[in-house]
Structure 1
Amino acid sequence: MITKHPIYQDFPEYADKIKDLYHHNDEFQVLLHSYTELDDKIYKIETDQELAMDDELSQLRKDRVFLKDMIYNYLQQN
C-alpha cells in the first residue's frame, strides 16, 4: 500500500517536541519542511501523479531516509 510518511506518524513519542521545535526553531522548521516536500514528491511519483525513472525514485527514497535520520538525531539532541 502506498502511503505518505509524516514525521508525526513515524515518531509519535516526539509529537509534542516536534510541534514545539517547529514553532520555535528555524533550523528544525527548514529540516521538517524539506522532509515533507520530499515525502510529498515521492508519494506523487508512487501514485503516478508525477513521472520519474526508477533510479531517481530510489535516490529520493534514500534522501528521505537521510532527512528522517537527521530529524531523529535533532529530536534526541534538543
Structure 2
Amino acid sequence: MQVEHHDLHLEFPEYLDSIRALKVGNEEFGRLYDEYHELTREVERLEEEDLPVDDFTIENMKKQRVWLKDQMYRMLRAFSPPG
C-alpha cells in the first residue's frame, strides 16, 4: 500500500526555522509536535503493514492529526522569530 507521509517539515517547508525554534522554545508547541509525530508514525505503520483496524479508528486518528497540525500552523503563523 502506498503511504503518504505527513512529517511537519514536509507539510510546512516554509516554516522550517520557526518549527525548530518553537519546538525547543515553546512547551505547548513541543507537546503538540511530539503528539503529532507519534500519531503520524502510528497511522503510517498501520497503513504500511496493512494491519486490521476498523475505518472509524483510522479516521479518528487522522482527524486528530489534522487538529494538531492546525493548532501548530496557527502557532507558526503567529510566531515572530527574535532578531
TM-score, normalised to structure 1, is 0.91
Q: How many residues align?
A: 78
* Equivalence for 1:9: 10
Alignment RMSD, CA only?
1.3
1:55 match: secondary structure: helix
* Mean CA deviation greater in 48-57 or 23-32: 48-57
State the 1:26 CA deviation: 1.1
- Runs of 4+ in structure 1 deviating by more than 6 angstroms, as ranges, are none
Q: Which amino acid aligns with 1:37?
A: E
Runs of 5+ consecutive residues of structure 1 not aligned to the other structure: none
Q: Judge which range, 66-75 or 45-54, deviates more.
A: 45-54
Q: Given the alignment of the two structures, is residue 52 of structure 1 paired with residue 53 of structure 2, yes or no?
A: yes
Give the structure 1 partner of residue 32 of structure 2. Answer: 31
Query: Rg bigger for which structure?
Result: 2
The Cα shift of 1:50 comes to 4.5
Q: Does 1:21 align with 2:13?
A: no
- Please give the alpha-carbon distance, in whole angstroms, between the structure 1 residues aligned to 2:3 and 2:33: 21
> 1:51, 1:30 → 2: CA distance?
29
Report the residue type matching 2:36 in the other structure: Y
SS of the equivalent of 2:6 reads: coil
- Structure-1 separation of matches of 2:16 and 2:35: 18
- Shift of residue 51, structure 1, vs aligned partner: 3.7
Following superposition, the deviation at residue 49 of structure 1 comes to 6.3
Q: Structure 2: which 5+ residue stretches go unaligned?
A: none
